[in-house]
Structure 1
Amino acid sequence: MWFLRNTIACPLAYEKIPLSTPVENLKFIVLDTETTGFHLASEDRLIEIGAVAVDGLQVDEEDRFHTYVNPKRQISREIVELTAITEECVKSAPDAVEAISRLFAFVEERESVCFVGHYISFDALVLKSELKRGNLGLKNLFTIDTLDLIGFLAPSYDMRDLACYARAFGTRMYQRHQAVSDALTTAYLFVELLLQLKDRGCLTWGELIQATESQARYLQY
């Protein structure tokens, strides 16, 4: 059970997967979050979670997770204009701990190996910060960042914006600043990057980990 004393252990399967497992046999969850701002340690809060499954080298658009989150604070006009998330959207939504618990149940059902995201360290910080407010620690969060993959494949690129990378790699783009849509854009970018890695001989889970080595991968609080 991933609920432990004062801790939630993210139910990812990365520790159970042999390093020799072909990448096309792995399942990933591509994650995106929306918040009221960037000051997560103080006043800002989670307002939306979106996730989509990638099974091997295919995006499963039908296999997705979405929830709004009640931040228990006002959403600024700037954020409403950016995300289209209004007070009406979140007033009956679960609180952050419940929403994250539902996300982890989605992950566990699919035996996903890790989370994937574009600048995934931000999304990981969102989860950590919200759980900390609920007096819960977070363990066993394992991530792959598309920025690390791009840095391995094309180190000359120096962009942060997801849409710029999607255009550069010729992958699908969806509505920006909406959690499921950004997760879908990231998922298609991720699959394209996996295909390029495969062309370079990166075929296994172990080789993928080596190609995306990041100090932020293991987040155990």
Structure 2
Amino acid sequence: MRYVVLDTETTGLEVRQGHRIIEIGCIEVNGRQVTDHHFHQYVNPEREVDEGAFQVHGISDDMLADKPKFKQIAKDFLDFVQGSTLIIHNASFDIGFLDGELNRLNLGRMADYVDGVIDSLGMAREMFPGKRNNLDALCDRLGVNNAHRQLHGALLDSQILAEVYLAMTRGQDSLVIDLNAQHDDDGVERIKLSALSLPEPEPTEEELALHQAYLADIEKAAKGPSVWSKISQATDMQAV
């Protein structure tokens, strides 16, 4: 499956207030490898950048004055993401702005061009509940180097997010899952435990002696037989 890690920078926070996209950065991830294939474009938003937004990304009106408008780069952008699954941190924000740009050009919505969207922020909140899960915090937690990130930038943030996403999903592509998984009609991947061959190590005599001594201490403190002893006796009786 082809993934595209995507980030945008905008003139402000609210698309409903007429704010626009000023930068798009996309990084391709294929086979859990970040490739050299990427898309990056600054965009003339045809309006001023809010001061608050400028403090975040450092992109000024003067920097955007000679850049192409979204309608001029829309085809190249859509060709790049076509058929991919997008990975976006706080996906509702970026998708909302992209849908707004496409709607102005009567080009539909992002859902018409991609197979799906993975919100890495939602993933992080499930993995690390109650903790800060912005990109910088995840880099610190997962050991991803972000020392070169002084300001927000769409391409740089996409590169960092690609590494963060791979770190968060490390181990999910094991051969055991690939070879023994089955997909039911609901699309959920399930593993057939009967297909797995798990080792059943036998305890050594020393381990058994230590176990019996541990049970004896428990029963002495409880002044009665332990649950483990009762289960073992019942099992022995059934085997006779």
Change (3 A) 1:148 1:117: same
2:57 to 46, 67, 83: 83
Give 1:162's aligned residue: 135
Q: Percent identity?
A: 27
1:113 to 84, 91, 99: 84
Verify: 1:136 aligned to 2:100, yes or no: no
Q: Aligned to 2:34, what secondary structure does the other structure show?
A: strand
Measured against aligned partners, the alpha-carbon deviations of 1:75-123 in whole angstroms (never above 9, x if no partner) come to 2333333212122321122222333322112234xxx531111112211
| In 1: Cα distance, 2:166 partner to 2:121 partner | 13
Aligned length: 180
Q: Aligned to 2:15, what secondary structure does the other structure show?
A: coil
Question: How far apart are residue 55 of structure 1 and its match?
Answer: 1.6
The 5 A counterparts of 1:177-196 are: 177-196=152-171
2:121 to 147, 155, 160: 147
2:41 to 60, 67, 75: 67
| In 1: Cα distance, 2:74 partner to 2:45 partner | 13
Q: Aligned to 1:41, what secondary structure does the other structure show?
A: helix
Change (3 A) 1:172 1:160: same
| Alignment gaps of 5+ in structure 2 | 190-240
Question: How far apart are residue 136 of structure 1 and its match?
Answer: 3.3
The structure with more helix, counted as a fraction of residues: 2
TM-score normalised by length of structure 2: 0.65
The structure with more strand, counted as a fraction of residues: 1
Aligned residues: CA RMSD: 2.8
Amino acid at match of 1:36: T
Greater CA radius of gyration, 1 or 2?
Answer: 2
| In 1: Cα distance, 2:164 partner to 2:91 partner | 14
Question: How far apart are residue 189 of structure 1 and its match?
Answer: 0.5
Question: How far apart are residue 29 of structure 1 and its match?
Answer: 0.6
Question: How far apart are residue 201 of structure 1 and its match?
Answer: 6.5
- Please tell me whether the aligned partners of residues 118 and 186 of structure 1 are also in contact (alpha carbons under 8 angstroms): yes
- Please tell me whether the aligned partners of residues 100 and 127 of structure 1 are also in contact (alpha carbons under 8 angstroms): no
| Alignment gaps of 5+ in structure 1 | 1-25, 212-221
- Please tell me whether the aligned partners of residues 28 and 54 of structure 1 are also in contact (alpha carbons under 8 angstroms): yes
Which structure's relative contact order is higher, taking Cα pairs within 8 Å and 6+ residues apart? 1
Amino acid at match of 1:169: L
